[in-house]
Amino acid sequence: MATSKKTKSDAKHGSNGHRWRNGSAQTSKPVANSDLRSYSIPDYRLEHPDLTVRQAIEKGKDGAEHVRYEVEGNLNAPVPPIRDSKYLDKKQCIEIYRYMLLNRKMEIGLENLYKQGKVVGGVYFGLGQEACSCASAYALDKDDWFAPMIRNQGALLVRGFGASDMMMQYMAKADSPTKGRDGTSHFGDIEKRNMVSPISMLGDLIPVLSGVALGARLQGRNIAALTWIGDGGQSTGVTYEGINFAAVQNLGLVLFVESNLWAYSTPSEMQYRVKDLAERAIGYGIPGVIVDGTDACQVYDAARDAVERAHRGEGPTLIEAKMMRMKGHAIHDAAAYVPKPMFEFWKKRDPIARFENYLVKEKKWLTPKENAELISDVERVIEEEREIAVNFPMPTPESAEGGVFCEDGCHEIKPKYSIPKVKKGTGGFKQTEAAVHLK
């Protein structure tokens, strides 16, 4: 139970006001048992890392104060096994593994293109988050919708984009999804792949995806609308508004909170005080689930359950995926502020290495030879896609004047599923009684 006593650990971690995430520094009056409510947040993880990051302030030789982060906890904990999926069979697991490899190798390719000076702007990576991006998107049905964030390039591969699309986009080539008008990930595909373009303002995709689910419902369909938000981005007001809207309207929003421990250089300890972000679901009145974001089977199962809830018209689900952002914010950020032992801890939990071990050694669903062939096939595909992308021309200067203003039918919005049904007689409004005034 909570206590008002100052504990030893409070004093020790006082430098940034951080206290352990168990509310131990709060005071509360005793409450009668009948007043207590209980909620449950299913936690699929087979491991609960107990690492804590704290801020330390040091004085340099020049007398100036420098901020640095330290990590505490059991850094030598054994790596947990992959949890068997309730749903995935051998073929599906291998397919997800292949997408994760494509995701990883495409991003290595992008990093190389950047270093060769071929990329216009920056490059973002989802290193360490491939299971979260790929296995969640894999759980969608064809008619479902999704909207990726910067770390979810793997989801685009799952939904049918080629690595060359992303490569051309970063190089601003003429045949890129935005025809060279954007150098990063701001593109969608509402025609074929049901993909809403990423919005840079963190959290804004959540109400948009809720709106997509509402639009589909007005056309007679309950669909799942999947998007992701970071552990930093979930602090925004629009996140609350979007989830709450989906909650009260019972819309099929499937929201992955990517708890990757950092938001730029801010550790999650300085973003929120709840122990787990899935607890926020209680406040919204919707189900919340915790998964190990480095375990593709757990990610898939939680996503699939949420997708099926959405299809049944039962409303949104918040899934917190715990993992670590294994690179800096983008290519310009060396992440020097991250304590090295944290990288070492999470490197041992590499989602691809663990899934490989699961498929080859534990399940024996792939022989070492088949695995080596699969990896070299992925490398061949990425190399071919890279060649296509690199050799494609840049847009012609004249093309800049096209696609700026609307031309006839240039972005006609048609109902995707059917014409919305509007009840007769709902066009006007009834004269109601005057408002009630309490005296």
Ligand X SMILES: Cc1ncc(C[n+]2csc(CCOP(=O)(O)OP(=O)(O)O)c2C)c(N)n1
Crossing angle of the two packed helices 90-115 and 296-311, in degrees rounded to 10: 110
Strand 52-59 and strand 65-72: pairing? antiparallel
Closer by beta carbon to ligand X, 263 or else 381: 263
Closest contact distance (angstroms) between CB of 208 and ligand X is 14
DSSP 120-136: SS-----TT-HHHHHHH
Asked whether 81 and 46 are in contact (CB, 8 A), the reply is yes
264 binds, among ligand X, Mg ion, none (CB under 5 to 8 A by kind): ligand X
Q: Shortest gap between Cβ of 271 and Mg ion (angstroms)?
A: 8
Binding-site member from 260, 294, 298, 371 for ligand X (CB under 6 A): 260
Sign of CA dihedral 70, 71, 73, 74: negative
**Interacting residues with ligand X between 83 and 122 (CB under 6 A):** none
Please state the closest distance from residue 265 (CB atom) to ligand X, in A.
9
Query: Quick check: 170 and 390 in contact, CB under 8 A?
Result: no
Among 107, 144, 165, 258, binds ligand X (CB under 6 A): 258
DSSP string, 29-51: ----GGG-------B--S-----
Q: How far is the CB of 338 from ligand X (least distance, A)?
A: 12
* 351/260 Cα distance (integer angstroms): 13
Q: Does 406 bind ligand X (CB under 6 A)?
A: no
Please, which of residues 160-179 interact with Mg ion by CB under 5 A? none
Report how far residue 123's alpha carbon sits from residue 110's, in angstroms, rounded to the nearest whole number.
7
Task: Map the footprint of ligand X across residues 175-234, applying CB under 6 A.
Answer: 200-202, 230-233
Binding range to Mg ion, per CB under 5 A, among 152-160, 260-268, 296-304, 365-373: 260-268
CB nearer to ligand X: pick between 276 and 356: 276
β-pairing, 266-267 vs 262-263, is antiparallel
Q: Which two tokens stand for residue 157?
A: 């591969």
Query: 151, 159, 304, 322: which one contacts ligand X (CB under 6 A)?
Result: 151
Instruction: Map residues 215-234 to x or -, x wherever contact with Mg ion holds by CB under 5 A.
Output: ---------------xxx--
The site for Mg ion, by CB under 5 A, has a size of: 5
CB atoms within 10 A of CB 396: 10
Under the criterion CB under 6 A, does residue 69 sit at the interface with ligand X? no
Residue 87's identity, in one-letter code, is: Y
* Min CB(322)–ligand X separation in Å: 12
> 264, 300 in Cβ contact below 8 A?
no
Rule CB under 6 A: which residues touch ligand X? 151, 200-202, 230-233, 236, 258, 260, 262-264, 325, 329
